[in-house]
Amino acid sequence: MNPKSRQQQVIKAFEDFLSTPLETVLQRHLNTQTSAALSLFHDVAANVPAYKAFLAEREINPATIQTLEEFQQLPAIAKQNYILRYPLGDLCRNGQLQGCDMIAASSGSSGKPTFWPRFFTDELQIATRFEQIFHDSFYTDTRRTLAVICFTLGTWVGGMFTSNCCRYLASKGYPITVITPGNNKEEILRVVEELGSAFEQVVLLGYPPFLKDVIDTGIARGVEWQQYQIKLVMAGEVFSEEWRSLVGERVGSQNPCYDFASLYGTADAGVLGNETPLSICIRRFLAQNPDAARALFGESRLPTLVQYDPFTRFFEVQDGGLLFSGDNGIPLVRYDILDTGGIVSYDAMLQFLAEWRFNPVAALENSALPQRPAIANSTPHSPLPTPHSPRGIHQLPFVYVFGRSNFTVSYFGANIYPENVTVGLEQPGIQEWVTGKFVLQVKEDADKNRFLSVVVELGAGVEGSEDRRLAIASSILSQLLRLNSEFANYVPAEYQTPQVTLAPMGDFEYFPIGVKHRYTRQ
């Protein structure tokens, strides 16, 4: 792309973003979602060298793919069979990495990063997800707002991407001011205490367990969170509704459906979907009605539940896993992200809930965050006027996500792999004590703080001791820090040391004999 046409592309995309109302953007899918997926396929098949080669190897003629049914017969792409097989430039349009202006990294099981290029226009698509949250949930168009970026800053996708998207919303006219302390807890607390009172609300954006740690540390130091009208934007973790209620109580939240929003995001393609007041309202009902949740999701655990725009991210379900198609610096067609979950249409969701005698729209109307007065006439934290009809009700489909199917666990937004722990158990002085089997999981203590639990199987005739337990924990920690850059940079130092439990060989609960061993538990 020559500099002139690139410049024109940027100008047009930004003008469209600035001038198109949110409601208009969110209604496009009603007429064109299927054609958008097909158009993306034909564009990628014609212009992305790696995808051309991928189809050619399988003797697929792109011209024969003309219907949704034919599209859904295309082989899925994934990291192993596509992303890691081709040079980075070949994954981009016209084989040109320079067609992108930003690169983020995600850390794999070996600690070797996968790079994900993107262009300014890719971020504008994702900025609409943030606009949904800031407009529909936080009423930011009428409230002076301080956005505090608590995601890790650096090559990882969360911090820089989020900061950029919030700035684009400020350009669109939202009274948002952005500050970027990253995951520096001391700096976050200083920012809130010194700047928070100058705004009508403060939005903290970060990983759920880290934000809770910030809040709890603040309470211990006498921070009066409720005076700042705190809102939370989160990503990277599945959390319980009990967790949301507890954290909400600690910051003085009056309405969890409008004070929180979680993103379903990934380094591969930015934000795929987001919680809305409607999805939170539904999830809170399901948390209190486990039979209904089991009937809807087919499992006894509660997944993340978000809404998505099928015009920009087209989801499918295949063998219990999620595939999506979407435009990015590396365009992805039927991409298998290794997340298990499913999709539910808007109408099907409301119909299902009606059968359980629950109307989430009516429930939101009864609890909706009222409209605040216009900025010019308001004072910080002025009393709320009479409620209006609720925002955040869009006829968008739902996607639910249980998380990665490839045996990772997610901790402070970092994917932790069993392979990382294995290396810690294979070190000299450690390997003589253990069989190599372990169970890795993220647990919560009574105060809803998360910790990394590793139950380790001792070798035959080996006795457990406190010295050995501490040595094993230290070895696992050193290898996690060495191998997994997400763990090293996302997880605060005081939460990094795993809590190791030593179990005898053949322990019935964790290491039953004759049963195929699973190294992770959710």
- Which pTM was predicted? 0.83
Lowest mean pLDDT among 42-51, 257-266, 337-346, 371-380: 371-380
pLDDT(378) > 60: no
Distance, CA of 247 to CA of 396 (rounded, Å): 28
Beta bridge partners of 114: 106
- Look at residue 298 and tell me whether its pLDDT is greater than 60: yes
Give Cα 462 distance to the centre of its chain: 42
Dihedral, CA of residue 240, residue 245, residue 248 and residue 250, to nearest 10 = -110
Residue 358, helix vs strand vs coil:
coil
| Res. 372 pLDDT band, cuts 50 70 90 | very low
Structural domains in the chain plus CATH codes: 3-108 (no CATH), 118-404 (3.40.50.980), 409-503 (3.30.300.30)
Question: Cα(37)–Cα(310) distance, rounded to whole angstroms?
Answer: 9
- Identify whether the C-beta of residue 483 lies closer than 8 Å to the C-beta of residue 113: no
Residue 460's pLDDT is 83
Most confident of 107-111, 127-131, 388-392, 443-447: 127-131
- State pLDDT tens for residues 23-43: 999 988 887 767 889 999 999
Distances (CA, A) of 38 to 33, 43, 272: 9, 9, 18
Residue range 41-77, pLDDT digits in tens: 999 999 999 999 999 999 999 999 999 999 999 999 9
pLDDT digit string, tens, across residues 454-485: 999 998 889 999 999 999 999 999 989 988 88
DSSP line for 112-148: PEEEEEE-HHHHHHHHHHHHIIIIIIT-GGGS-EEEE
pLDDT at residue 383 in the model: 37
In whole angstroms, give the CA distance from residue 162 to residue 131: 12
Angle CA 25–136–192, to nearest 5 = 125
Share of the chain above pLDDT 90, in %: 69
Higher per-residue pLDDT: 251 or 516 = 251
On the question of pLDDT at 302 being above 60, the answer is yes
pLDDT value of position 281:
97
